[in-house]
Amino acid sequence: MQHSKVKAFPENFLWGASTSAYQVEGANLEDGKGPSCQDVKEVPEGTSDLSVCADHYHRYKEDIALMAEMGFKAYRFSISWSRILPKGTGEINPKGIEFYNNLIDECLKYGIEPIVTMFHFDMPAALDQRGSWSTRESVDWFVDFAKILFENFGDRVKYWLTINEQNMLTLVGSVIGTTTLPKGCENPLKEIYQQNHHMLVAQAKAMALCHEMLPKAKIGPAPNISVVYPESCKPEDTIAAQNANALRNWLYLDAYVYGIYNNIVWSWLEENDAVPDFAPGDEEILKNAHPDFIGFNYYNTASCKEGDDIEQGGAISQQENLGIKGFFKGVRNPYLKTTEFGWEIDPVGFRGTIREIYSRYHLPMLVTENGLGAYDKLTEDGKIHDPYRIEYLKQHIEQIQLAISDGCDMMGYCPWSAIDLISTHEGMVKRYGFIYVDRDEFDLKTMARYKKDSFYWYQRVIQTNGDDLSTQIE
């Protein structure tokens, strides 16, 4: 649909950006922090460990000041579970509470709204050893953790996100380094969807607890949503795309918003002897979650067709789309360009994704991740020219404005990432930030911060509330 005149961004639109604790903070075992699953996993060959990252733990004041200079209205970050509870349960680490209190206060000093993700791929290693999400106890672990967060930070944090990319934890957990299956597991698929069920129940209980403890706060999920196209207008390809969309997207959002399992996925689980076991009261818990908004990460769309000849070998990133035998087969989209790292780029699909989410759920939406990873280079005169990132973000912001003009309720835009950090798969060389960190994969160099061209561009976008998206940098 073409609009003769597009609508303006809302006056209170939350322009910002995102990070996650395990990728940006460093200090992974300092000041009483316990190890997380990310700290003990085997990192991809040739990539940095997580001991230093961007050293945000020690340099957060400098980093927040730079975000304020950009004009951020919001900063979306995650709280490390094992920095608060070194063993995942039990004794609270006062140094962890102190750090996040300081971080939140530093944001508020500049008028930046803290948006807190409660769980971002970093289960405490001690809880991994106790079964992680496979055990029903994980529901109570997460709710107890949520209560500590609400008690300590709820007086200042108005926006909460429960679990980052739960669908990716379920679909490609081994890629992220989070999948823990019990020894001797005979039905891995059932086990994975039992873990998923425990996460659904845990986040639903956390939402209800938030509404009880913090009646003025807002809370929502943060899945990675990627609308799937059929390869052709062949009817069987459309059915395959419906299957893929249900499995990748609607299973999670249907459960978050309506408290029910998607019927297509439920039928698939039944056929594969993978239906999760419900504990007494689970149905009611799921239906009482009532999220206030939908946070979602978007990087690209996907495409698929009918087909059983699925390539073997498994996915190598969250955005890999291989397919499932008898359900759908992933294919490349010939109409889309790709990044240096092979991810398809689809700004128009962003608008389509927003429209689809809103038409199904009718809740305000917050973009919690969207960005371009690239091999940025620091010049001798201290500049980082990243026109490719500016163009990527410009095209996606334009599509948000078109979606707003379509009648979709958009709360804000927090692209990935505020500052360079350790990528889950490619380490430090795959940079996403507006702020450059002077370090290589293993050589920490100066760790100094430099403003990329995209820093100044985004600064102007925020100053004009999205009115000026021109790519010219003075």
Q: Comparing C-alpha atoms, which of 169, 178, 268, 162 is closest to residue 211?
A: 162
User: Which residues, including other chains, have CB under 8 Å from residue 144's CB and lie 6 or more apart?
Assistant: 89
Residue 118 backbone phi and psi in degrees, to 5:
-80, -30
Hey, what amino acid is at 295? G
Active-site residue identified among 306, 344, 369, 426: 369
Q: In 3D, which of 410, 384, 386 has the Cα closest to residue 399?
A: 410
Neighbours of 144 (CB within 10 A): 15
Residue 165 annotated among the catalytic residues of the structure: yes
Q: CB neighbours (10 Å) of residue 300?
A: 21
Nearest to 53, CA basis, from 326, 310, 437, 355: 437
Of the candidates 52, 35, 144, the one whose C-alpha atom is nearest the C-alpha of residue 86 is 35
CB 358 within 8 A of CB 365: yes
Catalytic residue among 106, 165, 191, 231: 165
Q: Which residue blocks in 382-452 are alpha helix, DSSP H?
A: 387-405
Q: CB count, 10 Å around CB of 379?
A: 9
Which ranges of 130-187 would DSSP assign to H, the alpha helix? Answer: 137-153, 166-171, 173-176
Number of Cβ atoms within 10 Å of the Cβ of 211: 18
| CA 110 – CA 64 distance, rounded (Å) | 8
Give, as one character, the DSSP assignment of residue 117: E
Active site residue 306: no
- Helices then strands (H, E): number in the chain? 17, 16
| Residue 414, phi then psi, degrees to nearest 5 | -125, 80
State the Cα–Cα distance between residues 420 and 433, nearest whole angstrom.
4
- In the structure encoding, which two tokens stand for residue 66, read together? 């730079």
Residues labelled catalytic: 165, 369
